[in-house]
Each structure stands twice: as structure tokens, then as C-alpha cells.
């Protein structure tokens, strides 16, 4: 009874985290005319790194070469994932960008699913992408789509790299160190893209707000939620990202989607949920020991 009671508030925390993430992405889009996409990526990663370093206070000593290789690799993935996502976001609607990006973790779920179910969910996801195209590939920037697909690959790599770093470092230490690596990598490109605009206090304040909404708050809420929610339930809720992104894009950015694009987003969400459930059933069916 206590577990059921705890899962309701935990699910609410995940939804709040998703909402914060998409509101943060909307704020980032509003900053693009001033900072450019790579400028806001740099601000997000730098402020996220500073916040995580202050919270986690990681100890760099006592870790071997393999652990540091994992952290550096994770940092590279963080920088590329965020950079590619914002480059796509500069050319595509928020809901469409997140829908294409979610194909990365969806593909991982399908690969680890069992039996004919994997082909069902793969076909449904493909139908979703086709529906997105039928709803207006003519007004979807091809380069933006390529950036979003590359971000999808980076997200899949992020999941694998995050798990590896989580095994090597306690608590948030590995994430804080990897975010610092990502911030250092993003620094020169961000400065080139944004230039002297980065010296304006209001831009720095908005960049900090994007970091807080897009990274710090969602990460904290997700960590709390994962203590009460099964991993499969958490993954299913994260599949709602395209829906929350579409709503945020409509309400905050005035981005309207055609009914076919909405259907495409819905199909990708259903495929994500189905793939996660299939993966969970496979894990439950495997003998322990």
C-alpha cells in the first residue's frame, strides 16, 4: 500500500521534470537570435556543470584510467547530444525535434526486446516518422532533420555512457565531472557563435535559467522518482517527451502542428511505451542467477 501511494507522487515528479525540460528548451529557442544555438548550449552546459559541482562536490582522486575514460566519453556525448539537439531546434518545431530524437532510446529498447514484438514497435515508430513527413516534410528543414537524427544517436549513446559512469562513480560525481568536460568542449564553439553577447547580464541570467530548467531540476526530480518508480514505468513516462514538447512549443512558441504530425508524434510515443514494456517482460522472464 505504501509503495502504491509513493508511486503516484513519484510519477508526478517525472511529469514536472518533463514540463521543466520543455519550458527550458522553449526559453533556449527564444535566446537563439541573441546567442545562436551553440551559444545557448555552452551556457546550459557551463551553468549545469557549476550547479552539479556545487551539489555533488566530486572527489577526483581515487579513480583509475578506465573510470576517467568513461567520464571523458560521457562528457563528449553530453556536448554532442546537446549541441545537435539545439542545432535541430533552430530549424525544426520543438515537438518534431523531440519526436525524432526519441527514436534513439526507442531503437535501443527495440533491440533489447524479444520476439515479434520488436518488429511491431519498430513498424509503429516508422509509421510515426512517415506521418510526420506526410504532415509536412516540405516545411521541415532537411539539415534540421539530420541534426535531430544525429541527436537521437547521441541520446542512445548517452544512455549507455551514463550507465557506465554510474557504475564507476558514486551519486552524482560522474555526471558532475562529465558535465564539466562537456562544458569545456562547448566553450570555444559557444563563444564563436555568441560573441560579446555573452557579457550581457540578462543573457547570462536567462542561460542559467535554461540550465536550471533543462538539466538541474529534471535530473534531481528524476533521481527522487527513480527511488519509488520501477525503471520500466520511468522509461514509459519519459516516452511522453514528444507530447510535452509539442504542448510547450504550441503554448510558448506558437508552433502549430498539422493533424498528421500530431498522429506521428502519438505513434512514436505508443511505440516507445510498447518497446519498453516488451523489454521489461524480457528482463522479468530471464532466470535469476
Q: What is the DSSP string of the chain?
A: -HHHHHHHHHHHHHHHHHHHHHHHHHHHHHHHHHHHHHHHHHHHHHHHHHHHHHHH----TT--HHHHHHHHHHHHHHHHHHHHHHHHHTTS-HHHHHHHHTHHHHHHHHHH--TTHHHHHHHHHHHHHHHHHHTTGGGS-HHHHHHHHHHHHHHHHHHHHHHHHHHHSSTTHHHHHHHHHHHHHHHHHHHHHHGGGGG-HHHHHHHHHHHIIIIIHHHHHHHHHHTTS-HHHHHHHHTTHHHHHHHHHHHHH-----HHHHHHHHHHHHHHHHHHHHHHHHHHHSPP-
Distance CA 141, CA 137 (A): 8
Q: What is the mean pLDDT of residues 232-238?
A: 70
Of the listed ranges 75-89, 227-241, 245-259, the least confidently predicted one is 227-241
Of the listed ranges 42-51, 134-143, 149-158, 278-287, the least confidently predicted one is 278-287
**Residue 114, pLDDT score:** 64
Q: 3: pLDDT confidence band, cut at 50, 70 and 90?
A: very low
CB 33 within 8 A of CB 258: no
**Residue 147, pLDDT score:** 95
Closest CA to 129 of 233, 242, 21: 242
Burial 181-190 (b: 16+ CB within 10 A, else e): bbbebbeebb
Q: 250: pLDDT confidence band, cut at 50, 70 and 90?
A: confident
What is the overall mean pLDDT for the chain?
81
**Residue 87, pLDDT score:** 95
Of the listed ranges 48-62, 95-109, 139-153, 232-246, the least confidently predicted one is 232-246
Residue 185 has pLDDT above 90, yes or no: yes
Q: What is the mean pLDDT of residues 42-50?
A: 92
CB 265 within 8 A of CB 97: no
Backbone dihedral angles phi then psi of residue 121, each to the nearest 5 degrees: -70, -35
Of the listed ranges 24-33, 143-152, 189-198, 250-259, the least confidently predicted one is 250-259
Cell digits for 250? 504550441
Residue range(s) defining the domain that contains residue 115: 2-285
* Ranges 58-72, 164-178, 198-212, 219-233, most confident: 198-212
Q: What is the mean pLDDT of residues 124-152?
A: 79
Q: What is the mean pLDDT of residues 168-176?
A: 81
CB 54 within 8 A of CB 248: no
Residue 81 has pLDDT above 80, yes or no: yes
Handedness of CA 205, 211, 214, 219 (dihedral sign): negative
* Domain total in the chain: 1
Of the listed ranges 174-188, 225-239, 265-279, the least confidently predicted one is 225-239
Residue 7 has pLDDT above 80, yes or no: no
CB 92 within 8 A of CB 148: yes
Percent with pLDDT over 90 in the chain:
25
Amino acid at each position: 500500500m505504501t509503495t502504491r501511494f509513493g508511486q503516484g507522487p513519484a510519477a508526478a515528479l517525472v511529469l514536472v521534470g518533463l514540463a521543466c525540460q520543455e519550458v527550458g528548451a522553449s526559453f533556449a529557442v527564444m535566446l537563439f537570435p541573441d546567442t545562436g544555438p551553440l551559444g545557448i548550449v555552452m551556457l546550459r552546459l557551463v551553468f549545469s556543470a557549476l550547479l552539479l559541482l556545487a551539489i555533488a562536490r566530486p572527489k577526483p582522486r581515487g579513480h583509475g584510467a578506465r573510470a576517467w575514460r568513461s567520464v571523458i566519453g560521457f562528457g563528449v556525448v553530453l556536448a554532442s547530444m546537446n549541441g545537435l539537439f539545439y542545432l535541430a531546434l533552430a530549424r525544426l518545431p520543438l515537438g518534431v525535434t523531440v519526436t525524432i530524437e526519441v527514436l534513439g532510446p526507442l531503437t535501443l529498447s527495440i533491440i533489447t526486446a524479444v520476439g515479434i514484438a520488436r518488429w511491431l514497435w519498430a513498424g509503429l515508430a516508422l509509421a510515426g516518422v512517415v506521418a510526420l513527413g506526410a504532415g509536412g516534410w516540405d516545411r521541415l528543414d532537411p539539415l534540421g532533420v539530420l541534426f535531430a537524427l544525429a541527436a537521437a544517436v547521441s541520446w542512445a549513446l548517452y544512455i549507455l555512457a551514463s550507465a557506465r559512469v554510474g557504475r564507476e562513480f558514486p551519486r552524482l560525481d560522474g555526471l558532475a565531472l562529465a558535465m564539466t568536460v562537456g562544458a569545456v568542449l562547448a566553450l570555444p564553439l559557444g563563444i564563436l557563435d555568441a560573441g560579446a553577447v555573452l557579457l550581457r547580464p540578462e543573457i547570462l541570467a536567462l542561460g542559467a535559467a535554461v540550465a536550471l530548467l533543462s538539466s538541474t531540476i529534471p535530473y534531481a526530480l528524476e533521481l527522487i522518482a527513480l527511488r519509488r518508480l520501477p525503471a520500466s514505468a520511468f522509461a514509459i513516462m519519459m516516452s511522453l517527451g514528444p507530447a510535452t514538447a509539442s504542448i510547450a512549443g504550441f503554448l510558448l512558441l506558437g508552433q502549430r502542428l498539422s493533424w498528421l504530425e500530431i498522429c506521428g508524434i502519438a505513434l512514436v510515443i505508443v511505440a516507445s511505451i510498447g518497446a519498453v514494456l516488451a523489454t521489461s517482460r524480457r528482463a522479468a522472464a530471464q532466470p535469476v542467477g
